[in-house]
């Protein structure tokens, strides 16, 4: 299997908007190559009689039932807000979108 090249790491860094030095490109290329090799070894071990799992132990999510309980009114919840609009917190726009 061919290794990960510095150019491929540089391309990934540009996509992620990361600025890497030459030393970091070499270092990460080796690390990514090791990671891909480890994943390939896991794929070799997996067999058709082994079901896919997300966790080695069976897990059960324990949740309480939803119950309607008393809570704050919109007026109470917004009482300390510096700005509000239509019964909601009003915050400054940060993304330049409407």
- Model pLDDT for residues 13-28, shown as the tens digit of each residue: 999 999 999 999 999 9
Confidence of residue 2 (pLDDT cuts 50, 70, 90): low
The mean pLDDT of 65-88, rounded to a whole number, is: 92
Residue 40: give the domain boundaries: 6-44
Tally of CB atoms within 10 A around 27? 13
For 88, the 3-state DSSP assignment is strand
Does residue 54 lie within any of the structural domains? no
Residue the block writes with tokens 């067999």: 47
Higher pLDDT, 43 or 90: 90
- DSSP 8-state assignment for residue 5: P
Instruction: Quote the pLDDT of residue 20.
Output: 93
CB 14 within 8 A of CB 53: no
- CB-CB contact of 26 with 6 (8 Å): yes
Q: Provide the pLDDT confidence category of residue 98 given band limits of 50, 70 and 90.
A: low
CATH number at 18 reads 1.10.20
29: number of Cβ within 10 Å = 19
Give the number of domains in the chain.
Answer: 1
Whether 18 is in a domain gets the answer yes
């Amino acid at each position: 299997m061919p290794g990960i090249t510095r150019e491929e790491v540089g391309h990934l860094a540009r996509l992620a908007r990361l600025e890497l030095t030459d030393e970091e490109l070499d270092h990460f290329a080796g690390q990514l190559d090791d990671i891909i090799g480890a994943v390939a070894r896991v794929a070799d071990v997996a067999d058709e009689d082994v079901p896919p799992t997300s966790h080695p132990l069976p897990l059960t999510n324990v949740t309480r039932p939803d119950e309607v309980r008393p809570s704050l009114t919109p007026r109470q919840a917004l009482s300390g807000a510096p700005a509000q609009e239509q019964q909601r917190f009003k915050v400054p726009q940060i993304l330049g979108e409407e």
